[in-house]
Chains A and B, each alone.
Chain A
């Protein structure tokens, strides 16, 4: 098992580094003001947004044990807190953890 875990870690990190390294290679020929740069920038933000919404809507691991209605309540509350606190990132983040842990404790 021990050898397996090391091998799995190496495979995981290699699969991760490929995208970063190819990104560094590709960007060598790309200027900061070019159209292709703008496109990559849009794709970067979209992919991140897609990933975050996928994690929240179709979570895996521990988060998938939480009922979707609870997750939606926490998402909406966090956005509300974000705006109420004048776009502060700390309050919605910390409160989301406390609210979710609390609500989930009650729900189970």
Chain B
């Protein structure tokens, strides 16, 4: 079924010193505390991270609940903010494809697509034989997912001991980590322009539509970067 050796290899990637697990853990501690303050029980908080496992989506859910949004509004807001997962999934699945592997592995393991696991895979997949990359990926995904669940529980119970400044400190960890990680991957003209244009266009489109800014900004920036890379990249 799943090759244990590669599964463990993937899972252990989260143990590296500069692994995205730190950012992931800190931000889900903040989520756990937030959910508790929103009136979630511990079971509901765990259920939420287990099923959603996407930070901006959980934040949007929490905010929508605070303003008393309808279910349809919550659905649309979460879908929009998490639609980045679509290009992210498309940009890793072809790396994991192998004809000997069953499809259910791909359909189930796409649940693990999140920034941290995605970055771990992007940074390590080349060392893994293509046949076993999906098992390696399932290992990465399981470990990061468990870290998120564990951190949610930790945050939930720590909520009473965390003051506002500490929570604010925890919430900045995630964007700062991924900002630095993004600067770190700017190695080709195409990727550098994709990231720089995304950083600029995302906030610009925010003035036109806050909800659609990430999606429209991302697609526009990505398309421009693709064209720039095709023209000047080689």
Contact = CB atoms under 8 A, between A and B. Distances in A.
B86 A22 contact: yes
A1 B223 CA distance: 44
A12 B48 contact: yes
Interface residues of B, number: 106
Contacts of A37: 90-91, 94
Given A42-B229, A51-B214, A90-B17, A20 B110 contact: yes
Nearest to B105: A24
A30 B230 CA distance: 18
Given A11-B74, A46-B194, A63-B168, A27 B214 contact: no
A61 B28 CA distance: 14
A49 B74 CA distance: 23
Contacts of B78: 11-12, 15-16
B165 A104 contact: yes
Interface string B146-177: 00000000000000000011111111111111
A48 B169 contact: no
B86 A19 contact: yes
A72 interface: no
- Could you say which interface size class chain A belongs to? 35 or more
Interface string A62-81: 11011000010011001100
Given A8-B74, A9-B47, A21 B107 contact: yes
Contacts of B174: 55
Contacts of A98: 169
B2 interface: no
Contact of B22 (A58, A74, A78, A93): A93
Nearest to B76: A15
B93 A24 contact: yes
A89 B71 contact: no
Interface in B18-66: 18, 20, 22-23, 26, 30, 34, 39-41, 44, 47-48, 51-54, 56-63, 65
B57 A53 contact: no
Interface string A6-46: 11111111111111111110111011100101111111111
B182 interface: yes
A64 B211 CA distance: 16
B115 interface: yes
Contacts of A41: 87, 91, 194
Contact of B63 (A40, A61, A93, A105): A61
Contacts of A26: 86, 89-90
B56 A51 contact: yes
Given A12-B58, A32-B95, A44-B87, A49 B190 contact: no
Nearest to B103: A28
A48 B165 contact: no
6 contacts: A9-B52, A44-B87, A49-B197, A51-B84, A79-B183, A105-B165
Given A13-B52, A15-B75, A50-B199, 8 more contacts: A8-B74, A30-B94, A45-B222, A48-B198, A55-B56, A55-B175, A56-B175, A82-B180
9 closest A-B pairs by CB: A23-B89, A50-B202, A47-B218, A49-B198, A43-B222, A101-B169, A27-B93, A46-B198, A13-B51
